[in-house]
């Protein structure tokens, strides 16, 4: 399934909803380009809603880590939201839950940014 991204801005926070698979190739490139463009445009607060992501491979994990580093180097933060069981288990096994701030819902991630401001 092709990755589809839906972007919106809420109170100055970029919320990106991903639907499909984040895998090596076109899908991970799409996500990388969209988020890196936002970072280059000065976006410091980004929420990636992964609730509709049904599969992530090693290339997809590498993309998430690269985006985390790019945001951090630009003084920004990426929070993950709404992980389904499969993606949550993968993030736990790979210890990436210690790298990313993860929230149960997009709303909770947005609220965490609002409270920190």
Task: Estimate to the nearest angstrom the gap between the alpha carbon of 42 and the chain centroid.
Answer: 17
Can you tell me the distance from the alpha carbon of 51 to that of 67, in angstroms, rounded to the nearest whole number?
18
Nearest-angstrom CA–CA distance, 80 and 45: 11
Report the alpha-carbon distance of residue 115 to residue 4 in Å, rounded. 29
Give the pLDDT confidence of 63-106 residue by residue, as tens digits: 999 999 999 999 999 999 999 999 999 999 999 999 999 999 99
The mean pLDDT value of the chain amounts to 95
For the chain, the domains span 4-116
Overall fold of domain 4-116: Transcription Regulator spoIIAA (3.30.750)
Global pTM reads 0.95
Q: Listing from the earlier edge strand, what are the strands of the sheet with 77-81?
A: 4-10, 13-22, 45-56, 77-81, 101-103
């Amino acid at each position: 399934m092709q990755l589809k991204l839906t972007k919106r801005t809420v109170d100055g926070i970029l919320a990106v909803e991903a639907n499909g698979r984040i895998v090596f190739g076109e899908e991970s490139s799409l996500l990388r380009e969209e988020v890196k463009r936002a970072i280059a445009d000065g976006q410091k607060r980004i929420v990636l809603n992964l609730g509709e992501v049904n599969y992530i491979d090693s290339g997809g994990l590498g993309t998430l880590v690269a985006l985390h580093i790019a945001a951090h180097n630009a003084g920004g933060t990426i929070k993950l939201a709404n992980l389904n069981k499969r993606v949550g288990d993968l993030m736990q096994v790979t210890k990436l839950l210690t790298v990313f701030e993860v929230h149960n819902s997009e709303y909770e991630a947005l609220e965490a940014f609002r409270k920190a401001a």
